[in-house]
Structure 1
Amino acid sequence: MNRLIGAPRRLARRILPFRRATRVALDELPAFAVPAASIATLADAAAFRRTLLELIAAATRRIVIVTLYLQDDDGGREVLDALYAAKARRPELQVSVFVDWHRAQRGLIGKQKSEGNAGMYREYAERLGPGVEIYGVPVQNRELFGVLHLKGFVIDDAVLYSGASLNDVYLARHRRYRLDRYHLLRHAPLADSMAAFVQRELADSAAVRRLDLPGVPRTRNLQPQIRLLREQLQHARYEVSATEPGPGEVAVTPLLGFGRDNQLDAVLLALLRGARQRVILLTPYFNLPRPVRAVLGQLLRRGCRIDIMVGDKTANDFYIPPEQPFRTIGLLPYLYEHNLRRFARTHRAQIEAGQLRLHLWRDGDNSYHLKGLFMDDDVAVLTGHNLNPRAWSLDLENGLLLRDPTKRLHAQHQAEWAALRRHAVQLADYRALESPRRYPPEVRRLLRRLNRTQLARLVNRLL
C-alpha cells in the first residue's frame, strides 16, 4: 500500500487501462439443464461448513477444491484433517486442492514474516503421508497484480459454490463469521466440466507446482511458465454440453473471467444492459468498474429499480478499530465508504424517489463478503467476482449464470435476499454515511496524499 501511494504518476496511466467491453449474445451461451430441485441455497456459514465436511466424508471418487487460500488455523486444519481422513478411508479417492501461489507462501498482512500456509501443507504431508495434493497457482508474477480467485468445490457429482475461502471466520469458528453466499448444485455434467477445467488448465500447467512437497521453486524461476499460463487462460473456457432446459429445469452456464477477452465480465455487462425492471447487486468492496457504473446510470435513467448491498466499513475485513494501532491497509474500508458516499450523492434524486436503494450490512464484529447479481425474477449470478476493477482486470475469476425463465428458483432467491437484509439498513441519503472530515487523522492524511498525487484511481484499480 505504501509503495502504491509513493509510485510515480505515470504508473497510473500505464497500468490497467479499461479495455472496450467484449459484446456477448446471451441467447447463444451454452448451458447445462439442471433440475431446479438439485439447486439449494445454504442458510449461513455454519451450514456451509457442515455441508462441506459432510460431502468430504461421503466422497467416493473425487474431491477438487479451488480456493484463494486454505488457512493455517483451526478452520483450515479441520478441513485438511477431513481431506486426509477421506483419503485414508478410500485410497483410490482423488483429492486435490488448488490455492493461490503467492497467498499460500506469505504470512498474514501485518503479522511477522513466515512461510505461510504452505508450511502447514508440508507438515501434514510429512506426518500423514502423500495423498492430498495441494497445488499453488501463480496467476501473475506478483500477488499485487492478480490472484487465483476461482470458486467451486467439486465433490463427486456435487458443486459447492461460494465466494468463501477456508479459514476460521469463513467457516464460522470461534463465534465469528464472514458472511458470503453458499449454493449446492448436484449435477454430474456440471461437476465434470468444472473438474475437467481445473485438470486441463491448472494441474497440467508447468507453472502450477505442488506446495505440500519440499523443494518449492522460487517465483522468479517460473516466470516463463507463468507467462505461458496467462496466455493459455486468456483463451480458456469451461466445456459445456449444451442442453435445452425442460419443465422444472434451470439453464446453468459456468463462465471464466481473465484477461482481455473476458467472458465473465462481458456477460455481466450484457445482463445489466438487458435488465427490464429490477437489479440486485452485491459487492463487499464498493469500488465499481467504470463500465458497470456507466450501465447502472443508464438503467436508472431508464427507470429500472436497483438495490445495492455493501458492508459497513466496520464489517470490512481490513477495518482496524480506533483502539488498535493504525496500519496503512486500514485505509481501505474508508476508501470504499468514500466511494459509496460520492455515488449516493450523485444519485440522490433516485434515492429519494426510492428507485435506487443502498443497503449497508452490519452484524456485531462479523464481516461481509457477498457478491453476485439478481436480475428481474429469472436470472441470478453466483460468483466470487467482487465487481471491482481488480476482479475486472487482474484476477482469475469464474461464476455460474442461472437462467430460470419459468421462475422455479424465484422463491429461493427471494428468501435468500430477505435473509441477507436481516442485518442491513437502507440509507436515506448520502449524509447517513460518515463524512470524510470526521475520519481518523491518519485516514484523512492518506486520502489527501492520494488525491494530491492523483493516485486514488490507481489504488482503486489494484485493491
Structure 2
Amino acid sequence: MRFLRPRHTLDQLPALAIRPESVTTLHSAADYKAEMLHRIRSAKNRIYLCCLYLQHDEAGAEILAALHEAKLARPQLDVVVMVDWHRAQRGLIGEKKIPGQLSGNAAWYQQQAALHHSGVAIYGVPVQTRELFGVLHLKGYVFDDLVFYSGASLNNVYLHQFAKYRHDRYLLIENRALADSMTDFMREHLLASSAVHRLDQPELPATRHIRGEIRAFRARLKKAHYTFSASQEKSAGTLNVTPLVGVGKNNALNRVICQLIAHAKHRIVICTPYFNFPLAITREINRALKRGVQVDIVVGDKVANDFYIPPEQGFKAIGALPYLYEMNLRRFLKSHQKAIRQQQLQVHLWKDEDNTYHLKGMWIDDEYALMTGNNLNPRAFRLDLENALLMHDPEHLLLAQRTEELNSIMRHTRALQAYTDLDQLQDYPAEVRKLLGRLSTVRLDRLAYRVL
C-alpha cells in the first residue's frame, strides 16, 4: 500500500490507473437524482453513502425509501449512510427546537428504521465538538465497484425535486480498487471510532458526554489517509486518479491544492460557491498571474448563494453572508483590475434565475482536474473534514468530457469587466448594511470569513 506523504510533489503522488471509458460526467441535478436511484436499486453487494446530510424532505424521503427497499429485497446488501452528527440533530436554520425532544433528521431516521426494520444503518460523524468549528464534509458514494463523487448532499434542491435546483458537479468512476479504498477509509477511520454513533437507533448520547472521544477522533483523522495498491507504471491509454483527504491546517489535501496552482503553466480554472479564498490560495493565484498564467474563476452571484434570502422574505442574520462574500469578491476585483483589463484574469458570475450554485474544483493546463467538496475557503482549509479525487490526464483522454462540463457550467455565467460591475455596501438592503457595518466596526467580519 502507498499513500500521500508530507513531502510528495504532484509527480510523486501514488495513484490508480483508470481507463477513460470507466469515467462518466453528469451535468445536472436531475441526472444526479436519477443516477442515485438507479444505483441504489441495482446495487448487489454494498452501498456506502457519505455526505453532509440526508434531509427529511420529499427527495430525501425518496432516497431513504429506496435504500430500505433495496436492503429488504437483498438482505445481504451492506447499506451504510454517514452524515454529520451535529447537522443531523438540529432543524433547519431558524427552526425552533422542542426541549427534551430529538429534532432534525435523526428523529426521522429513527422513525423510518422502526417502520421498515430493514437494517439500513445511518451513522452520525462528529468531526468537532461543535458544528461551528468543523463538520463532516467528506463526500462520495460507493455502489459495488462504482464511485459516485459529488459535492452535493441529499435534499430537494440538490436533487432538483421541484422547480429549483442547486448546481453541483457529478463524477462516476467504475473501478474496484478506488471503491475499495474509499470504503476501507470509511470503515477504518469513521465507523470504527467510538465517537461515531448510529442515528437511526434510540438513546443517542449527548454530545457533551462524548467530547473526549470526539477530540481523540479528530486527532486521529489528522493522520488518516486513503490506502491502495498504486499503479507502479503509467501505461498508455490510462489516466491516474489519487484520492485525497485532510482536516486541519496544512493537511495533505490543502498542500496539493496549492501545488496544483503553483504547477500551472498555461491556464487555471477554479470553481467556488463562496468567494473567500484562504491566503495560501490567493498568494498562489497572484504568483500564477505574475508567471503569465491565464486564470478563470467561476463563482456564484449573491442571489445564487444558498444562504441568500430575498429582501421581501424578511431579514435573518445568516442572509447577510452572500453580501459578505460579494464584498470580498469586489475587493479582489479591485486589486486585480489590471489583470482583468488584460483579460489574463477572468471572473465569471454564475446565475440561472433563482437557482443556486454549489460547484467546487479546479482544472490545471488540461492535465490535472480536482473533483472535491472543498469550498476552497478558510473553513475548509482549517475546520472541516474534506476529501477530493485528483485526476492526472497528460494524454488528454478525458479532454472532451472536461470541455463539455466546463461549457455546461459557463452557459449561465457572465464575465465581470470591473469591480464596479458588482453592488457595493450602499446598494444593499438597510438591515444588511446595518449588520455588515457593525461586523466591520468590531472586526468580526474577519472571524466570519474564517468559520462560515
Query: Unaligned 5+ residue runs, structure 1?
Result: 1-21
CA distance in 2, matches of 1:431, 1:241: 52
Secondary structure of the residue that 1:119 maps to in structure 2? helix
Corresponding residue for 1:201? 189
Alignment of 1:256 onto 2:245:
yes
1:378 corresponds in structure 2 to 367
Match of 2:443 in 1: 454
Matched, 1:361 2:350: yes
Deviations 1:366-410 (A, max 9, x none): 100000000001110000000000000000000000000101011
Partner Cα separation in structure 2 for residue 85 and residue 419 of structure 1: 34
Write the distance in 2 (CA, Å) between the matches of 1:459 and 1:272.
26
Shift of 1:260: 3.5
In the alignment, residue 456 of structure 1 is paired with which amino acid?
Answer: D
Displacement of 1:261 in angstroms is 4.8
Q: TM-score, normalised by structure 2?
A: 0.97
SS of alignment partner, residue 18 of structure 2: strand
Q: Cα RMSD over matched residues?
A: 0.9
**Residue 318 of structure 1: how far off its partner (Å):** 0.7
Of 25, 44, 62, 2:28 maps to: 44
Q: Deviations over 1:289-333 (max 9, x none)?
A: 001001101111111100000000000111110111100001100
What is the rounded CA distance, in whole Å, between the counterparts of 1:378 and 1:411 in structure 2?
Answer: 12
Counterpart of 1:81?
A: 65
Q: Does 1:123 align with 2:107?
A: no
Counterpart residue number, 1:91:
75
Partner of 2:55: 71
Q: Aligned partners of 2:92, 2:424: CA distance in 1, in Å?
A: 30
C-alpha distance in 2, partners of 1:291/1:444? 29
Which letter maps to 2:251?
N
The 1:160/1:313 distance shift into structure 2, 3 A limit, reads: same
Query: How many residues end up aligned between the 2 structures?
Result: 442
Contact 1:24 1:266 in 2 (8 A): no
Counterpart check, 1:142 vs 2:130: yes
Over 3 Å counting, the alpha-carbon distance change for 1:247 and 1:387 in structure 2 is same
TM-score normalised over the length of structure 1: 0.94
Contact 2:68 2:118 in 1 (8 A): no
Distance in 1 separating the partners of 2:225 and 2:305: 32
Secondary structure of 2:49 counterpart:
strand
* Counterpart check, 1:228 vs 2:228: no
Aligned to 1:444: 433
Q: 2:405 aligns with which of 416, 426, 451?
A: 416
Shift of 1:24: 3.8
Residue 23 of structure 1: how far off its partner (Å): 5.2
Q: Is 1:174–2:158 an aligned residue pair? A: no
CA contact (8 A) 1:381 1:401 kept: yes
- The separation in 2 between residues aligned to 1:209 and 1:286, in whole angstroms, is 34
Contact kept in structure 1, 2:71 and 2:118, CA below 8 Å: no
Shift >6 Å, 4+ stretches: none
SS in 2 for 1:323: helix
Gaps of 5+ in 2: 1-5
Match of 2:236 in 1: 247
Structure 1: distance between partners of 2:266 and 2:189: 38
Identity of aligned residues (%): 52
Residue 316 of structure 2 corresponds to 327
Deviation at 1:411, TM superposition (A): 1.1
Partner Cα separation in structure 2 for residue 245 and residue 124 of structure 1: 48
Change (3 A) 1:166 1:346: same
User: Alignment partner of 2:264: what SS?
Assistant: coil
Give the drift of 1:175: 1.5
* Aligned equivalents of 1:341, 1:306: Cα separation in 2: 17
Q: How far 1:130 sits from its partner (Å)?
A: 4.0
CA–CA distance in structure 1, aligned partners of residues 235 and 32 of structure 2: 29
- The aligned residue for residue 13 of structure 1 is none
How many Å apart are 1:245 and its aligned residue?
Answer: 3.1
